[in-house]
């Protein structure tokens, strides 16, 4: 085990060109996917719900974990958006990756996202699998090129990218209730002198089952039933990088083994008992913008996929909001 390169980024040559190509491909994709109506996200366009939550920092954390947002025990107000990953709006019964995007409010300090330095929000973006689908930006650009191409393009790509196939098969699952899924960042982030990955693990007393005759939006219905009756809680945890070879920064398609470095709880997410499914709140959730670069420097995103997100997320968000004639605006409270 070597600590030589812990937390170190190694951008590959030519990455910027792939980032630019990927941005244009994703823009073309959402134009094609949304010929009428509102311009939706290129990924995670189907929202199960956006809900009010509290993000409660653990007291008495070890000193090495008392970093940034987690420096002291306090409670942040938050919005959390749950979603399906696929670029199309599909029935919930289809296999997919699910998303949990967390936005803390009232977070002081300069932020890393250009032109949003003075916003008071901090985002954490997680999905329902512990590995990203590709190794780097070049491979992800190739995947999007194949998926938006013909059958021959898809066949050529998947025939030569077996790990991408394996990661997709592992990631695409059927779920019942977004409040009963474990979520992961897949990509690494700075944490003081460490690199970490995040996880959100639900507390589940009685697991829901897929309905016998499920409608297209049964996951939203499951959330509604649970939050009308009780609150939902998650443990928010971090996994420290302890080996640069087995836990790489530049390859989020490789799992960081929990047997080597278990996740450590640093906060509780409490999703309040509430009614959320109304037109005003749904429109608010549609117009929210999330990015791992809505962040203070202490939690800076690491690795190639996150470097691509720094350029692509605001590019797509600005284009989408302009098409929808809606301003890009960060929330400051639970008031809509």
**How high is the pLDDT of residue 41?**
65
Look over the chain and give the mean of its residue pLDDT values, rounded to a whole number: 91
* CA distance linking residue 35 with residue 32, whole number of Å: 6
Question: pLDDT digits over 165-211, tens only?
Answer: 999 999 999 999 999 999 999 999 999 889 999 999 999 988 889 88
pTM of the complete model: 0.93
Residue-level pLDDT at 191: 95
CB-based contact 5:247 (threshold 8 Å): no
DSSP single-letter state for residue 178: G
C-alpha distances (whole Å) from 189 to each of 148, 193, 293 are: 30, 11, 10
The separation between the first and the last C-alpha atoms of the chain, rounded to the nearest angstrom, is 50
pLDDT at site 216: 94
239-290, pLDDT tens digit by residue? 999 999 999 999 999 999 999 999 999 999 999 999 999 999 999 998 888 9
- Kindly tell me if the per-residue pLDDT of 4 is higher than 70: no
Q: Which fold has domain 15-323?
A: Catalase HpII,  Chain A, domain 1 (2.40.180)
């Amino acid at each position: 085990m070597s600590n030589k390169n812990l937390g170190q980024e190694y951008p590959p040559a030519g990455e910027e060109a792939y980032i630019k190509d990927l941005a244009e491909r994703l823009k073309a994709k959402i134009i094609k996917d949304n010929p009428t109506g509102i311009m939706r996200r290129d990924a995670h366009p189907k929202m199960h719900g956006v809900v009010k939550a509290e993000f409660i920092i653990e007291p008495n954390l070890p000193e090495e974990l008392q970093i940034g947002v987690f420096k002291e025990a306090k409670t942040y107000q938050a919005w959390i958006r749950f979603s399906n990953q696929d670029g199309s709006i599909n029935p919930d019964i289809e296999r997919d990756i699910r998303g949990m995007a967390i936005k803390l409010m009232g977070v002081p300090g300069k932020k890393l996202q250009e032109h949003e330095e003075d916003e008071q929000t901090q985002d954490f973006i997680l999905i329902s699998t512990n590995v990203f689908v590709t190794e780097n930006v070049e491979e992800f650009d190739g995947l999007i090129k194949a998926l938006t191409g013909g059958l021959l393009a898809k066949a050529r790509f998947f025939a030569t990218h077996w790990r991408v196939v394996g990661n997709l098969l592992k990631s695409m699952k059927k779920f019942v209730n977004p409040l009963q899924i474990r979520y992961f960042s897949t990509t690494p982030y700075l944490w003081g002198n460490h690199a970490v990955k995040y996880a959100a693990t639900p507390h589940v007393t009685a697991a829901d089952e897929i309905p016998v005759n499920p409608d297209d939006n049964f996951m939203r219905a499951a959330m509604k039933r649970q939050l009308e009756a009780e609150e939902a809680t998650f443990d928010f945890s971090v996994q420290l990088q302890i080996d640069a070879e087995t836990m790489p920064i530049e390859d989020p398609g490789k799992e960081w083994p929990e047997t080597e470095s278990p996740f450590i709880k640093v906060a509780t997410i409490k999703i309040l008992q509430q009614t959320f499914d109304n037109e005003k709140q749904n429109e608010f959730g549609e117009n929210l913008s999330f990015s791992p670069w809505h962040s203070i420097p202490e939690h800076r995103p690491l690795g190639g996929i996150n470097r691509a997100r720094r350029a692509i997320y605001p590019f797509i968000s600005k284009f989408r909001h302009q098409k929808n004639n809606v301003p890009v605006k960060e929330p400051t409270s639970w008031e809509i």
